[in-house]
Structure 1
Amino acid sequence: MRIVLGTPINAVPRPWLYFDIPALMINALEVRRDPRAVLGYEGELWVDSGGYQILRKGLSVDVDKIAEVYRRVDAQLYLSLDVPPSPGDPPDVAERKFEKTYRNWVRLRRAVGDSVVPVLHVYRDEALFFRYLRLYVDAPALAIGAAVPYVLITRGAPQGSRMLALRLIARARREFRGPLHVLGMGSPSVTPILHAMGVDSTDSATWRLKAAYGKVILPGGGERHVTDRAVNFGRAKPRDGELEELYSFLRETGFPALDGFYERIKTSFEYRALVNAWVVTRSWTQPPRTPVFRKLYQAVATA
């Protein structure tokens, strides 16, 4: 399974300069000039349309503008411009968003080519999900979006939202023959579950954000605050043996910068970000740490 790293184009650090990563994802809204030259990156590149950011900020972006950006960027995959439904959307509102997302993909595919990947959204109306799944059978790859509120956040989602989302993803895996990507689900708590389901890839941009908040990500999921500064949320400190466990994982998997580990994770944002990027991209074989995700993993793995 591959974990694609999401990154702002001008951000530091740049893990791909220190070790191999499976692929890199950037946001089309940030593209001003050749992103490969800015990033110093020659590997597999994905471009996200910025649909989530557009929705959150109330922006209006023309499909033709996204197509223009896509034609200028040398990338392997381009994610179609999507309009994600929220868990609380009434069915008629959600259906309009499904339809708009589908029409955007048709237009972008005509303008850019078969490397444009459609996005199908998790939503509580399973029949709606299945109906649109059938429209994407000839796509070169398929991305499942809007799963995060159902699996990782769950506030405002229907009861049993985690199993609902996993059931929809499993159905997509059975019916779609090409590569299947699940957007934004690169947490080590979830990636072992997706791997057990046969999902090909997912992505994460939290490796850098968590580091900025003074946190390291543990193999199997969970995060621990390791700096001395006060924080307003996510205050969990490492429990006995957890940093030693993290160190052992890094050593056993070949992390290239172990010198001064215990001090550097406390004092250096860039070092924490590199550690987090390594853990995110390489710990999907570790069973989930937390009981709720371990239970889901066991249910999927034994199904």
Structure 2
Amino acid sequence: MRTEPKPWLYFEVESIMVNAMEADERARAITGFEGELWVDSGGYQVLKRGLEVSPYALAERYRRIGCDVCLSLDVPPAPSDDPATAQRKFETSYRNWRILRSELPEARIMPVIHVYPDERLFARWLSAYEDAEELAIGGAVPYVLIARGAPSNSRELAMRLFAMARERFGGRLHLLGMGSPSVSATLEILGIDSADSATWRLKAAYGKVVLPGGGERHVTSRDVNFGRRKAREEELEELYAYLRSSGFPLLDGYDDFKSRLRASFEYRALVNAWVILRSRSPPRSAVFKKLYLWALEWAHGPKAREEAEQSQAQRKG
């Protein structure tokens, strides 16, 4: 909650999400944020540490914080879980949501359903939330943005589940952790309402900037052990042009822009936050272009996909 910089002090940010494990009644005062405050249950971190949290204790914490959107306490099934194990975890997540709704009847408690390889099991639990006004989909990052240790064709699987959720669920849909420019345009085509991300700050700490349409580039002289790709001059020019055309408020001349990117973690973080919040450029990576074209066909038919493919071919030419 004490993060620096705070992008919402520099430009419009509609909502922020903080973690219930570190938030309390001072959340708004500490963040200085006046918009819609979301609080994540911290369920993933609890599981990683081998701890347990009662939904009743979480309800009391939510009551103290006074959040606008409270995410339910979820128990994510791993991709490797057998269906029986996954079923038990889906059941626990559902039970926690019902308890939190009962304990906080006036609050917006957003249930969480998780990506899982058994599409029929996902569909069964999706129908269990038909009376919810909004729904979060969790566990998608390993399937889409990382895809290591996930089932084969995990990205396509996740897209089918997102599309299923959009077709069958009439309320607001949020994707946890999926606020990446690599997939933002795709998620918008699918009708996903929102997503969140912490990468604006994490990438900046590693000396990286995030590009419209996805991809990250190093802009400092520090040694790096992974993701070694340095920003080319034309990529920085492209990023600068995007920021100027989209109204980024912290922009002077191009040379000053490059100098600040190299020298300032805070400036890189603000640039990254702006790109993640606003970029809807088609993905630049071949892997994510495939998902983008799939979404176009799903939403608008084969002709839309063909036109997009022709447009891409012309740009390459």
TM-score range, shorter chain: over 0.9
Q: Percent identity?
A: 61
C-alpha separation in 2, matches of 1:286 and 1:244 = 16
Q: CA deviation at 1:229?
A: 0.8
Matches within 5 A, 1:277-292: 277-283=273-279, 285-292=280-287
Unaligned runs of 5+ in 2: 299-317
| 1:37-96 alpha-carbon deviations (Å, 9 max, x no partner) | 011111111110011111222222121121111111232211001011111111111111
TM-score (norm 2): 0.91
What SS does structure 2 have at the residue aligned with 1:137?
Answer: coil
Match of 1:166 in 2: 159
Q: 1:5 aligns to what? A: none
What letter corresponds to residue 19 of structure 1 in structure 2? F
- Aligned partner of 1:212 in structure 2 is 205
Residue 222 of structure 2, aligned match among 229, 253, 257:
229
Q: CA deviation at 1:258?
A: 1.0
Look up the equivalent residue of 2:121 and give its one-letter code.
L
Q: Distance in 2 between matches of 1:206 and 1:10?
A: 16
Matched, 1:177 2:173: no
Is 61-70 or 268-277 further displaced after alignment?
Answer: 61-70
- Alignment partner, residue 300 of structure 1: 295
For residue 286 of structure 1, what is the amino acid of its counterpart? Answer: S
Is residue 148 of structure 1 aligned with residue 141 of structure 2? Answer: yes
- Does the 8 A contact of 2:159 with 2:291 survive in 1? no
1:6 aligns with none
Deviation at 1:32, TM superposition (A): 3.5
Distance 2:51 2:8 in 1: 31
Bigger CA drift: 248-257 or 113-122?
113-122
Q: Find out whether 1:10 has 2:7 as its counterpart.
A: no
Amino acid at match of 1:266: R
Amino acid at match of 2:38: W
Query: Which residue type is aligned with residue 118 of structure 1?
Result: P
Larger gyration radius, structure 1 or structure 2: 2
The corresponding residue for 2:37 is: 45
2:190 is aligned with what amino acid?
M
Q: 1:273 aligns with which of 269, 273, 289?
A: 269
Partner of 2:303: none
Per-residue deviation, residues 116-153 of structure 1 (Å, max 9, x unmatched): 00001010111111111111011110001111111111
Matched, 1:68 2:64: no
Displacement of 1:295: 1.6
| Secondary structure of the structure 1 residue equivalent to 2:84 | helix
Aligned-pair distance for 1:33? 3.5
Paired amino acid for 2:80: G
Q: Is the 2:136–2:176 contact (alpha carbons within 8 Å) kept by the matching residues of 1?
A: yes
Identify the match of residue 192 of structure 1 among 185, 188, 191. Answer: 185
| Alignment RMSD (CA, Å) | 1.0
1:197-227 deviations in Å (ceiling 9; x for gaps): 0111111111101000110000000000111
For residues 280 and 58 of structure 1, what CA distance do their matches in structure 2 show?
A: 32
TM-score if structure 1 supplies the norm length?
0.95
Matched to 1:276, the amino acid is N
CA–CA distance in structure 1, aligned partners of residues 49 and 276 of structure 2: 28
Aligned equivalent of 1:263 = 259
8 Å contact kept, 2:24–2:64: no
Higher relative contact order (CA 8 A, sep 6+): 1
Looking at structure 2, the residues matched to 231 and 59 of structure 1 have their Cα atoms a distance apart, in angstroms, of 34
Q: Give the deviation of 1:302 after TM superposition.
A: 2.5
* Aligned positions, number: 294
Q: 1:252 aligns with which of 208, 227, 245?
A: 245
Q: Structure 1 CA distance, aligned partners of 2:228 and 2:104?
A: 45
Q: CA deviation at 1:240?
A: 4.1
Amino acid at match of 2:178: M
Structure 2 partner of 1:87: 79
- Paired residue secondary structure (1:29): coil
